[in-house]
Amino acid sequence: MSQTIEARLADLGVTLPTPAAPAANYVPFVRSGNQLFISGQLPMGPEGLQYVGKLGADLSVKDGKSAAKLCAINLLAQAKAATGDLEKVVRLVKLVGFVNSTGDFTQQPQVINGASDFMVEVLGDKGRHARSAVSAASLPFGAGVEIEAIFELA
């Protein structure tokens, strides 16, 4: 991919938000060596928390994918805050996605695809990653999705 990550985001009409401050006693990211660990990001938009509820009850798979994409945007915002320049990202190593879902909901992977697909769209091959997509009985503030990430940095 010859475009910069910022240029690709602009082409997609995505402006990275100001990263959210932690809601408890933790830091939004930790750099250890050449790895960047980003704490779980919720689907925070310009109007605050979006996509509140449970997949399989209150939210559709389409809603969940949109929530996951918004979490991915927030992960990139944290990565930019941590590095000052997204071009320092060598690759996305892993995403861990949590889906607030009913006991019989089984489409967690399809929901987290909203983040995975977006990361590949923005980062190209550097966005191909290992992943977990798991169900949660509840998430902070009733969010439908929460995603954390590990990046490799130059």
CATH of 5-18+27-153, one of 3.40.50.10190, 3.30.70.330, 3.30.830.10, 3.30.1330.40: 3.30.1330.40
Domain ranges of the chain: 5-18+27-153
pLDDT in single tens digits along all 154 residues of the chain: 578 999 999 999 999 999 988 889 999 999 999 999 999 999 999 999 999 999 999 999 999 999 999 999 999 999 999 999 999 999 999 999 999 999 999 999 999 999 999 999 999 999 999 999 999 999 999 999 999 999 999 9
**What is the distance between the alpha carbons of residues 135 and 97, in angstroms, rounded to a whole number?**
8
Helix (H/G/I), strand (E/B), else coil: 57: coil
pTM for this one?
0.97
Q: How many CB atoms lie within 10 A of CB 91?
A: 15
